[in-house]
Amino acid sequence: MSINKGDKLPDVTLIKPTADGPEKVQSAEYFAGKKVALFSVPGAFTPTCSAKHLPGFVEKADDLKAKGIEEIACTAVNDPFVMKAWNDRDGSEAITMLADGNGDFAQALGLTMDGSGFGLGQRGQRWSMVIDDNTITELNVEDPGAFEKSSAEYMLGQL
């Protein structure tokens, strides 16, 4: 069952890439007491994710922060080393990467997809959400293959 607007985030371990190496963070603690724009991509370095999704949040970071977003984060079912390399290449310091290497977060949210047809295995769906102190205040889940309502531009219209 998929998570809904108004629900609390599940508490799972994510991995944040840092200059000192991977750092485990608990989602309930990490998202507590702040307003976060979180978006999920099926995979780092994949075409739509690298050409549109991540760059859109990089480009609109200042606009999102001007509307009350305190942090912008990206999650994917990838390891923290891949997430760091992707952010180094296509992202910016304005984006926090949160690796969900085993897919525990995607599964707890009920937002998984089967990418086996593309050699990706089980992944997280493409979505975005606004989280305010661990509560989902906006949730934008894409239809398979679509990129319309999980963009930074769409989120700006919601804030």
Q: Tell me, rounded to whole angstroms, the distance of Cα 69 from its chain centroid.
A: 14
- Residue 108: is it exposed, middle or buried by C-beta count within 10 angstroms (0-12/13-18/19+)? middle
Domain housing 126: 13-147
Q: Is residue 152 part of a domain?
A: no
Stronger pLDDT, 112 or 105, i.e. the higher one = 105
Looking at the chain, how many residues does it have? 159
Q: Is residue 154 part of a domain?
A: no
Nearest-CA neighbor of 140 among 111, 113, 120, 105? Answer: 111
56 vs 131: CA distance, rounded Å? 19
Tell me: the pLDDT tens digits for 56-106? 999 999 999 999 999 999 999 999 999 999 899 988 899 999 999 999 999
| CATH code for position 137 | 3.40.30.10
Q: Tell me, rounded to whole angstroms, the distance of Cα 139 from its chain centroid.
A: 12
CA distances, 99 to each of 67, 87, 109, 123, 146 (Å):
26, 12, 15, 12, 22
Q: Is residue 63 part of a domain?
A: yes
Q: Is residue 136 part of a domain?
A: yes
**Share above pLDDT 90 across residues of the chain, in percent, rounded to a whole number:** 73
- Residue 38: is it exposed, middle or buried by C-beta count within 10 angstroms (0-12/13-18/19+)? buried
Q: Is residue 159 part of a domain?
A: no
How high is the mean pLDDT of the chain?
A: 91
Q: Is residue 53 part of a domain?
A: yes
Q: Is residue 8 part of a domain?
A: no
14 vs 158: CA distance, rounded Å? 26
Q: Is residue 1 part of a domain?
A: no
Q: What is the pTM of this model?
A: 0.92
The catalytically annotated residue of 9, 49, 76, 152 is 49
Stronger pLDDT, 75 or 46, i.e. the higher one = 75
Let me know if 74 is a catalytic residue: no
Domain total of the chain? 1
